Amino acid sequence: MLGLPAEFNSDFLARLEQLRIKTRREYAGSGKGGHLSPRRGTSLEFNDFRHYTLGDDVRFIDWGLYGRTDKLYIKLFKEEEGLLSYIFLDASASMGLPDGDRKFELSVVLALALAYVALTSGDRVMVRVLGGEGKTADIGFVYGRHRIIDLARRLAAIRPSGSIDLAHALAGELVTIRRAGKVFVISDYLMAPDSISRGLGLFTAANMDVTAVQIVGGRELEGAGLSGDVEVVDSESGEVVRIAMGPRERERHRESLKRMSLDLRAFCLRNGLHYTLYDTATSFHEFFLRAVAELGLVH
Amino acid sequence: MPWPNSASFTESPMGLLFPGALAFFALTPLLVLAYLARERPRRVSVSSIMIFRSIGGRAGGRFGRPKLDWLFFVELLILSLAVLAMAGPFIIESSRQFAVVVDNSVAMQARMADGTVRFAVALDRINIELKEMNDGDHVTVYVTTPAPHPIAATFQSPGAARSAVDRLTATDAPADPAALAALLAQLASDTRLNNVIYAGAYPVTPPLPSRLRVYAFDAPVPNAALGSFTLRRDSFTATTLHGRVAVGNYGASPQTFTVMVSANGRTLAQQRLELQPDEVGAADFPNLPLEDTYRADLKPTDDLPVDNVAWATNAAVRSIAVLFVSPSPADANGLQSIPGIKVTARTPDAYTPDDLARADVAIFEYAVPKVMPTVNTLLVMPPPEDPIFDFVTSPASKTDVTSWRTTDPITDAVNFRLLNPRVGEFFGVHPWMQAVASGTDGALIIRGERQNHRFIATGFNLFPYLGRENLPMSILTLNMLSYLVGLGSNSAGYRTGQPWIVPAGTETIAMPSGRRVGVQSGTVFADVTETGLYQLIGDGGVTTLRAVNLDDLTASDLKNSPALKIEADESGGVAPTVTMEHKSLSGDILRVIVALALLEALVVYSRRRRVAVVRA
């Protein structure tokens, strides 16, 4: 539909339009929006009192408090602003493997879905691709739902390649971020746990509300295509490991992958991060609607 | 009695015929390289090798370390065995060679005075001898009927020979003493043989060859026997048969015998006969009614029952079908007047060999067939130099018969002085036919046998058959027809131990015991070791009966068994011989290689199938 991935059918778009991003804390945003901001403003959400001074709008005088204290206080309200959302998409070579799992394609779809939720909520969103090839010049925040087409076109041109150090890559991105907001990091997280914890820890330290989305291939999980004596080559480092894959090794492989995911989830929960796991063997629509809360979205 | 040197053959040295072939062991590194190349694992790019490291994957180089799959060792073993096989390994086996000659002739069926059967006792003796041999000794077992021959290849152990000997049975065929003596002489002269053991009905004249050990069962057994049982039709018009049974008394005293002839379980005639010791008599049955088969029984029976029964068939009493092939078929008209004769006339152009299937006798006038006829045949004035008979003829200006065989069935009662054939030709010398009657410049009538069939050729024309108007010619013609259809001859003339030519059209022969043997016509059937009625079964189940009897009365004479004189050539030494045999192990090794290769193929197939299922 209009250059969007096939998953974006009208029904799915309608469902996305009913969602909005929920953050665990208030962030100063940009422009008018639907999210409470720590700034004082004109929303209905009470924020504080202060003494009346000449020039204040008499409509905000708390007359009840005046009756009890015989002093004039002005009621202050929170501001509602647009949320700044950051979507970081891992485009390293590991996201392109194994063939047939469509890890990167579905990551793009997920990123676009999150971006669409943000845009339809009137928020600003920035999509950054970590690694990969075919990237055009980075664009900053985009605003307005029509920009989803532009985002989709840009992401469609990207092919996963190369290797990234998540901590290093996220640190580089963090430097460019001026205001805190919602952060989505979409990756397979098949990397050193230390790199993951340092990378995601940077954002939590920067007072960001982070959601880690791990994407795992269905065939990858089952170890499909690996049997007998094989030399497995790391898609990013090029390292080679020989292994005889039998039923027992395949089972251990599956268990190890699951254990890695559990470790990542435990890390996220411990540090106040949202975490969700997407197994590409399941339907994208099914996953997205099931994982709304885990992704940090609300209806 | 144990055989000498029985405990001295324990050495089994080994060796290689081509030790140079062991150089091929240098191929082993090639196998390792080939194995590495073949077993080089597939390269698969994965997202991350972290997981694989955690489940035991090892860092590998370009080829990696060879994985010690047990199939590698199987292949290494196969290669090693192949190299070893090329080197021609052998072991030297010391063994002794023995020959065992078991007389399984009819005489061995006789029951001895103590009630035991000669053959059973002979087998016991042979078994005792075989038990005394060493396990590695080789034994060749011979039997004496229908002709002396080994029953199988040399047995590699006395145990195997014992099993084979236990399965032997005595046949109804007589042994040929001359052939048996020749065999024993040959075996006794064979320096490769350690010993020869003979157990049979014939004694051996001393001195015995040193290698020969004899168990003779020649104690006299009183025996009476039926000899030949012949049937003949006295004339073409006769409606009964004339039977004659020969009877021999080989007992110690005069005895009165009763010979009964029966058919289909019904006694047709019987006759009493008193015979002196060693006397042979004949019982005549001139008016036997026509039946398919006849059985003659001798009473009282004795210790060799097989020769107390004889069989005959009525092949002589059927209407005789004559195929007459001639450019002038009308010449056959006169033959129709002979009772019991049915003539079918053909011109040579219309004749096909298939016509012979419905004929008992073929007559070719001025013609010869292009293939050898499958029935008895009369050739009247055949053209010369045909490829089948290759007659050499010369025109006869004067065809008077000047000489003839007086005792020949063809010339019987023929007045050749009145014969007076008008035109004719003389036969030159023929390779397999002999002159019966001759003129001044050559033979005028010749006859012979080929492929179990009778052939007569005449240099003058017998036809047309004029009956009483030309009596000498008619008698000659009837004599020839009688000879060709077997009238007046022994119609039960088949004897055990004497092979036949399988008659045309016969596909299977059912023996009296019920055993059926597939045969090919024209070939020799030598398995004539049972007395009784043989069924010759042809296409479409057409069955002809053939009676086979033990009608050689000498085989029934168990009182005067001739002694065998063995003239062995023992110049080659008489010491017990030990044969050192190089027994090649290459065959065994090749069998192991094939088994290992099959095992590997099975395992590889199974693995690939499992991989295919996983990939699917």
Interface test with A, best of B55, B62, B67, B608 (most A CBs within 10 A): B55
Terminal alpha carbon distance of chain A:
24
Kindly tell me the burial class for residue B146, based on how many C-beta atoms sit within 10 Å of its own C-beta (0-12, 13-18, 19 or more). buried
Q: For residue B9, what pLDDT is reported?
A: 44
pLDDT confidence of residue B449: 86
Residues from chain A contacting residue B47 (CB–CB below 8 Å): 94-95, 97-98, 103, 188, 190, 217, 220, 235
Helix A166-176 / helix A193-205 crossing angle, nearest 10 deg: 20
Identify the pLDDT of residue B529: 87
Query: Buried (b) or exposed (e) across B61-100, using 16+ Cβ within 10 A?
Result: eeebeeeeeebbeebeebbbbbbbbbbbbbeebbbbbbbb
Q: Which residues in A lie closer than 8 A to residue B42 (C-beta atoms)?
A: 228-231
C-alpha B252/C-alpha B559 separation (Å) is 9
Interface test with chain A among B35, B40, B45, B71, by most A beta carbons within 10 Å:
B45
ipTM value: 0.76
Distance CA B209, CA A286 (A): 105
CA distance A42 to A39: 10
CB contact under 8 A, A232 and B52: yes
CB B228 within 8 A of CB B551: yes
Whole-angstrom Cα distance, residue B301 to residue B307?
9
Of the candidates B42, B44, B49, which has its C-beta nearest A239's C-beta? B49
Please indicate whether, in this complex, the C-beta atoms of A243 and B46 are within 8 angstroms of each other. no
pLDDT in tens, A122-158: 888 888 888 888 777 777 888 888 888 888 888 888 8
Q: What's the pLDDT score for residue B63?
A: 47
- pLDDT value of position A74: 83
In single-letter form, the type of residue at position B586 comes to S
State the average pLDDT for chain A: 83
The residue type found at B551 is: D
Residue A77 has what pLDDT? 74
Q: What is the pLDDT of residue A1?
A: 54
Instruction: Count how many pairs of residues, chain A against chain B, have C-beta atoms within 8 Å.
Output: 108
In the numeric block, which tokens belong to residue B304?
């060799």
Q: Which of B480, B339, B334 is nearest to B412 (CA)?
A: B480
Residues 316-335 of chain B with CB under 8 A from chain A are none
- Answer whether B286's CB lies under 8 Å from B240's CB: yes
Q: Is the pLDDT of residue A178 over 80?
A: no
Residues B335-382: tens digit of each pLDDT: 888 877 889 999 999 998 888 877 878 999 999 998 888 888 999 999
Q: Do A244 and B67 touch (CB under 8 A)?
A: yes
Please enumerate, as own/partner, the contacts of B428-437 that have beta carbons within 8 Å and a separation of 24 or more: B428/B391, B428/B392, B428/B393, B428/B394, B429/B392, B430/B389, B430/B390, B430/B391, B430/B392, B430/B457, B431/B390, B433/B457, B436/B404, B436/B405, B436/B408, B436/B410, B436/B411, B437/B401, B437/B403, B437/B404, B437/B405, B437/B410, B437/B411
Cβ neighbors of B26 (< 8 A, separation 6 or more) are: none
Do B50 and A252 count as a contact with CB atoms less than 8 A apart?
no
Low-confidence ranges of chain B (pLDDT < 70): 1-12, 38-39, 57-68, 235-237, 315-319, 486-493, 501, 503-505, 521-522, 551, 570-581, 611, 614-616
User: B15: helix, coil or strand?
Assistant: strand
pLDDT at B131: 93
Is the Cβ pair B48, A98 closer than 8 Å? no
Instruction: Enumerate the residues of chain B whose CB falls inside 8 A of the CB of residue A236.
Output: 48
Asked if A242 lies within 8 A of B46 by C-beta distance, the reply is no
Q: Are B46 and A228 a contacting pair at CB < 8 A? A: no
Question: Which pairs with CB-CB distance under 8 Å and at least 24 residues apart come from B6-10?
Answer: B6/B132, B6/B133, B6/B134, B8/B578, B9/B94, B9/B95, B9/B96, B9/B134, B9/B136, B9/B578
Q: What is the pTM of this model?
A: 0.48
Q: What is the pLDDT of residue B382?
A: 92
Structural domains of chain B ordered from first start: 18-87+587-608 (no CATH), 94-220 (3.40.50.410), 223-317 (2.60.40.10), 320-485 (3.40.50.880), 494-549 (no CATH)
CA A160 to CA A215: how far, in whole Å? 14
For A229, the closest of B50, B52, B67 (CB atoms) is B67
| pLDDT tens digits along B409-464 | 888 888 888 888 877 899 988 889 999 999 888 899 999 988 778 899 999 988 88
Q: What is the pLDDT of residue B542?
A: 74
The shortest C-alpha distance from A252 to chain B (Å) reads 6
Interchain proximity A260–B49, CB inside 8 Å = no
The C-alpha torsion from B176 through B177 and B180 to B184, rounded to 10°, is: 180
For residues B101 and A294, which has the higher predicted lDDT (pLDDT)? B101
